[in-house]
Structure 1
Amino acid sequence: MPQHAQGARTARHRLGAELDGTVPAALLADAEMVAAELLGNAVRHAAPLPGGMIRLTWLLRTGPTAHTVQIRVTDGGAAGPPRMRQVGPDATDGRGLLLVAALATDWGVERDGLGQSVWARLVHPLRHTAAVP
């Protein structure tokens, strides 16, 4: 996607459309929020990939006990690694990675020759109903 707000919005909507009806609504909402935060950070703080782009990818795994969605945003990198900030109650920004950390099971940053990827893994347990004898 192009590295601007509209490109980030389009990418988030594609994620939502792809996962809608496939994962529980709560997991979908969390995945969309995490994608929005990671994409917003890439637009605001990082250089683009070649061609002025950022990339959003996701992987859905459904196991016997949980749905897992891994979200990855790749950009050209920034001067420093992404980091959580301490913000006051009146701050108007700076909470993005705090939200990601709160919603995701884990998250991290990987750098390679192309740039950097920030990823987050969200796990939603499947609910099983007990068999009635």
Structure 2
Amino acid sequence: MSMALSERSWCVVVPHHPQGARAARHRLAAELSAAVPAPLLADAVAVLAELVGNAVRHADPLPGGVIRVAWRLCPGVDNDTVEVRVTDGGANGDPRPRTVGPDSLDGRGLSIVAALADRWGVNRDGLGQSVWAQLS
């Protein structure tokens, strides 16, 4: 059961490094642990980890060698929605799920995001590329 909250949002900057994913996961979990049901929090943490990991592995950093990580909580009558967004300096081509075999060591990140999220997408602006996902 979620607490009665109004819409809230957070934005943090983490290093364009695998440790950035750890910092983002811990911050999101700390901020939302009392506000959303545990299964939704677990899915949001997993999606955020995949998106930050993809940004570190496949995209350029923003100026300063960082990635911008944001999330928004939209409490609802029947369920809460969490939107996570990871902004980086962009990569060649659009992020898209890949088809990989059972022995592949990687390549499942966006398939995991698509399976856990209600919807996800990519936006570009003059500052970089954002990959976002909404979960409820």
Match of 1:88 among 72, 90, 101: 101
Aligned-residue CA RMSD in angstroms? 0.6
Partner in structure 2 of residue 107 of structure 1? 120
| 8 Å CA contact 2:20, 2:52 repeated in 1 | no
Aligned sequence identity (%)? 68
Match of 2:67 among 54, 69, 75: 54
For structure 1, the residue ranges without an aligned partner over 5 or more in a row are 124-133
Deviations 1:41-79 (A, max 9, x none): 000000000100101100001111110000000000001
Please report the TM-score for the alignment, with normalisation by the length of structure 2. 0.89
Query: Is residue 36 from structure 1 mapped to residue 49 from structure 2 by the alignment?
Result: yes
Bigger shift: residues 96-105 or 8-17? 8-17
Rg bigger for which structure? 1
What is the SS of the residue equivalent to 1:66?
coil
Once the two structures are TM-superposed, the CA of residue 33 in structure 1 deviates from its matched residue by 0.2
Q: Report the count of equivalent residues.
A: 123
Please report the TM-score for the alignment, with normalisation by the length of structure 1. 0.91
After TM superposition, where is structure 1 displaced by more than 2 Å over at least 4 residues in a row? Answer: none
